[in-house]
Amino acid sequence: MGPRPALRPYLLVLPALLLTCGILYPFGLGLFYTLFDFSASRPRPGLVGFGNYRTMLGEGAFWNSAWVTVLYAVGAAAAETVLGVSVALLLHRSSRIGRVLEKILILPLMIAPVIAAIMWKLMLQPSVGVVNHLLRPVGLGGVQWTDTPAGALLSSIAVDVWVYTPFVAILALAGLRSLPASPFEAAAVDGAGWWYTFRRLTLPMLWPYVLVAVIFRFMDSLKVFDIIYALTEGGPGDSTMVLQIRAYLEAIRFQRYSFGISYTIVLWAVVYLAAMVLVRHLGRVQRKAAEAR
């Protein structure tokens, strides 16, 4: 050990700490701004206390955004979990095809979500898009994918699913490959069926891995921005107006800085609370899984 062993770790984390403060500062500043009516038209803002929050919580637009955000996050996380775990199970069988496909599983995940949304936007265009062209033989050539409220929300979720299913699949596959062999051997000896083995053995033992993926996906979808910005920009109407898009429109487009930041502060609080609950749950699940081994 060196001359000042007690001091060394602090010196090592100091640069990271300074950088962290540099990021916490604008966050604190934003929190401070929400107490004023700061906007481009009011460069000398006045103190309004919690007025921004009161206005926001009294608006139907806010509750609509909150509802759409929850629908989006739950829908996307659920669909990605089911599809991702299914893909992982299929890859875990390790057929010849599976081994080849596994190597390219990652591709959609590494494409910027905004680019993915652009790609799907071109494909989902109702009259000249390729998706409707391919659906025409089965009589579904005229679907207005992003031009109806329900269609727009489902299409955005579909793009999210396209990008992030590999994320769940990769983590679930890693989990499947690290499961101990003996319970499965015992089940096979006892002649247990596929469904029974899956429900009683695979899924419970795999769950801690899947849960890590679900938590990441749920929290990320709560703050979705890129996909919806490129695909629908919140429309039609307010049908895909998730909280971050609304915050963007208020703060950047309408330049009502204080009001826009209030939206993100509320979202931040929700994400933070969700994170605490989910991470605590994850801890319990992981402990239980460790005891079961």
**Residue list 27-66, contact with another protein (CB under 8 A):** 27, 29-30, 33, 38
Restricting to residues 123-162, which ones interact with another protein according to CB under 8 A?
123, 128, 130, 133, 162
d(CA 247, CA 142): 33
> Site residues for another protein, window 191-230 (CB under 8 A)?
192, 194, 197, 209, 212-213, 216, 219-220, 222-223, 225-226, 229-230
DSSP code for 47: B
Contact between 70 and 291 (Cβ < 8 Å): no
- Which residue, 151 or 218, is less far from another protein as judged by CB? 218
CB atoms within 10 A of CB 138: 7
Listed ranges 52-60, 72-80, 137-145, 188-196: which one lies at the site for another protein (CB under 8 A):
188-196
Least distance to another protein, CB of residue 76, Å: 15
Number of other CB atoms surrounding residue 194 within 10 Å:
8
The angle at the Cα of 104, spanning 130 to 79, to the nearest 5 degrees, equals 65
Cα separation, 88 vs 101, whole angstroms: 11
Work out how close the CB of 252 gets to another protein at its nearest, in angstroms, rounded to a whole number. Answer: 6
Q: Which of 55, 86, 144, 148 binds another protein (CB under 8 A)?
A: 86
> Which string of x and - marks every residue 255-284 that binds another protein (by CB under 8 A)?
--x--xx-xxx-xx--xx--x---------
Q: Of 57 and 82, which CB lies nearer to another protein in the complex structure?
A: 82
223 Cβ contact list (under 8 Å, min separation 6): 243, 244, 267, 271
Q: CB 228 → another protein: shortest distance, Å?
A: 11
Told to check if 288 binds another protein by CB under 8 A, we report no
CA distance 231 to 162: 14
